[in-house]
């Protein structure tokens, strides 16, 4: 008789092998059609779920992903998400910006989050009776849908701008600043909604909200200064020592554990822990170089597959469900794309640059998948709404780069290059 632990390992390893192989193939195919690798990995997760693999080979899928393996995948995906959001927070550029640049970035952020939140919330109010779970109020449901649609895929936006050498252009810096503000506000909204849902009403959620705010304040005001010597040491040596690696990972995972205990999910703690990391560019580069490939190659595909196992696109078949999906998609697309484009135009950018930023800011990528997985895990949304928002994530992510290139072809990009010094002078 096999040891139960060994038996579980012999079940988990084949699942991981298939997940990584499928993700690698789909990621490569995505890059061949000029799409980011993460889009292929997202699609791979959906394909391994009941939509395709489970539909064509139900017995094989049940054997590969039995019920006792899924909790292991959930734990691995939660660790991966916590570390990924930690790296997102640590990678945000908090370098000195002029008041004018901050003002314009905040205006762009508001133009992306407010229309999407309003239109998405309106769609949620209309669809409440069709898509909501019984113990979620109409306003909670509306705010969740609006919050999910107000997200921007900050890491994807940053990657596109860096690949095209636009990260220090006026367009690039404003976009990155606005996306970081959008995502931070959306995570705060999710933290509040989760606390309200688990606390069974706003009054019951007050202690959770207060504890989360205290945690964030302690991390940013107390822990952050204590971590500055790490940044100095890495800047001096140019590498991470084993002790530094231990400290960094312990801070990230401990923060996730604390916020999970508080009741606002581990990824929030990981994100705040990232914000508390030293802001030295050398530290950020070394941190991403040491951790990002492992997290994005091993752990994130597990998350995409876990999401895919919960995604049943057949559940949104039929006229009423397709109309509901169309309403949600249009609300999210119009709110982000035209809201950001009109804001950019109002700040003096040309229509090309304005629509290019609208296309990039409209991508949801991995961010919305994390958001809705938390909602599904906490019982805040139905599997039908989850599947609809997965489709929104895939379509808007796939459309980001084509919309950008349609508005701003290669021959126009050199005009966007501008030094940070000139940019601050313009602001």
Burial class (CB in 10 A: 0-12, 13-18, 19+), 178: buried
User: Is pLDDT above 70 for 167?
Assistant: no
User: Is pLDDT above 80 for 219?
Assistant: yes
Residue 416 pLDDT level (bands cut at 50, 70, 90): low
Considering 105-119, 150-164, 180-194, the range whose residues carry the highest mean pLDDT is 105-119
Cβ–Cβ under 8 Å, residues 125 and 138: yes
**First-to-last C-alpha distance (Å) of the chain:** 71
Tell me what percent of the residues of the chain surpass a pLDDT of 90. 30
DSSP letters spanning 39-104: HHHHHHHHHTSTTTHHHH-HHHHHHHS-TTTHHHHHHHHHHHHHHHHHHHHHHS------HHHHHH
- The reported pLDDT for the residue numbered 426 is 33
Mean pLDDT score across all residues of the chain: 84
User: Is pLDDT above 90 for 404?
Assistant: no
Give tens-digit pLDDT for 51-103: 888 888 989 999 999 989 999 999 999 898 899 889 888 877 655 466 777 88
User: Is pLDDT above 50 for 224?
Assistant: yes
User: Is pLDDT above 90 for 166?
Assistant: no
359-364 average pLDDT score: 87
Phi, psi of 170 (to 5 degrees): -60, -40
User: Is pLDDT above 70 for 199?
Assistant: no
197-214 average pLDDT score: 75
User: Is pLDDT above 80 for 165?
Assistant: no
pTM score, whole prediction: 0.80
- The reported pLDDT for the residue numbered 258 is 93
Phi, psi of 218 (to 5 degrees): -65, -40
Give tens-digit pLDDT for 369-384: 888 888 888 888 888 9
Residue 47 pLDDT level (bands cut at 50, 70, 90): very high
- The reported pLDDT for the residue numbered 401 is 85
Give tens-digit pLDDT for 288-329: 888 888 888 888 899 889 888 888 877 777 788 999 999 999
Work out the number of other CB atoms within 10 angstroms of the CB of residue 122. Answer: 16
- The reported pLDDT for the residue numbered 98 is 67
Work out the number of other CB atoms within 10 angstroms of the CB of residue 318. Answer: 10
- Single out the residue of 400, 342, 338 nearest to residue 368, CA to CA: 400
CB-based contacts of 255, cutoff 8 Å, min separation 6: 86, 215, 219, 269, 270, 272, 273
Query: Higher model confidence: residue 412 or residue 198?
Result: 198
Domains of the chain with CATH codes: 4-426 (1.20.1530.20)
- The reported pLDDT for the residue numbered 310 is 84
């Amino acid at each position: 008789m096999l040891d139960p632990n060994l038996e579980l390992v012999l079940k988990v390893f084949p699942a991981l092998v298939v997940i990584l192989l499928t993700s690698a193939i789909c990621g490569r195919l995505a890059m061949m059609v000029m799409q980011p690798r993460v889009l292929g990995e997202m699609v791979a997760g959906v394909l391994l779920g009941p939509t395709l693999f489970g539909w064509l080979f139900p017995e094989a899928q049940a054997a590969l992903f039995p019920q006792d393996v899924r909790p292991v995948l959930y734990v691995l995906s939660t660790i991966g998400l916590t570390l990924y959001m930690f790296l997102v927070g640590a990678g945000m550029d908090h370098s000195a910006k002029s008041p004018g640049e901050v003002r314009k970035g905040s205006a762009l952020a508001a133009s992306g989050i407010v229309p999407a939140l309003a239109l998405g919330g309106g769609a949620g109010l209309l669809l409440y009776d069709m898509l909501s779970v019984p113990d979620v109020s109409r306003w909670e449901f509306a705010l969740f849908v609006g919050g999910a649609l107000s997200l921007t895929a900050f890491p994807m936006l940053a990657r596109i701008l860096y690949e095209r050498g636009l990260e220090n252009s006026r367009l690039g810096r404003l976009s990155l600043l606005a996306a970081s503000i959008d995502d931070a506000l959306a995570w705060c909204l999710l933290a509040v909604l989760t606390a309200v849902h688990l606390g069974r009403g706003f009054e019951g959620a007050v202690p959770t909200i207060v504890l989360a705010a205290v945690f964030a304040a302690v991390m940013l005001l107390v822990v952050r200064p204590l971590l500055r010597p790490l940044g100095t040491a890495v800047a001096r040596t140019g590498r991470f020592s084993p002790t530094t690696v231990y400290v960094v990972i312990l801070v990230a995972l401990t923060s996730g554990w604390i916020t999970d205990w508080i009741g606002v999910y581990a990824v929030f703690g990981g994100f705040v822990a990232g914000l508390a990391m030293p802001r030295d560019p050398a530290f950020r580069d070394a941190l991403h170089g040491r951790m990002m490939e492992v997290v994005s190659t091993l752990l994130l595909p597990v998350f995409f597959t876990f999401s895919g196992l919960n995604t049943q696109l057949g559940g949104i078949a039929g006229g009423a469900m397709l109309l509901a999906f169309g309403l949600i998609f249009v609300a999210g697309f119009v709110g982000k794309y035209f809201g950001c484009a009109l804001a950019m135009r109002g700040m003096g950018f040309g229509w090309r640059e304005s629509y290019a930023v609208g296309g990039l800011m409209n991508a949801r990528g991995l961010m919305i998948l994390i958001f809705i997985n938390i909602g599904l895990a906490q019982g805040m949304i139905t599997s039908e709404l989850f599947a609809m928002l997965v489709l929104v994530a895939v379509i808007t992510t796939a459309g980001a780069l084509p919309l950008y290139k349609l508005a701003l072809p290669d021959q126009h990009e050199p005009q966007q290059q501008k030094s940070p010094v000139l940019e601050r002078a313009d602001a």
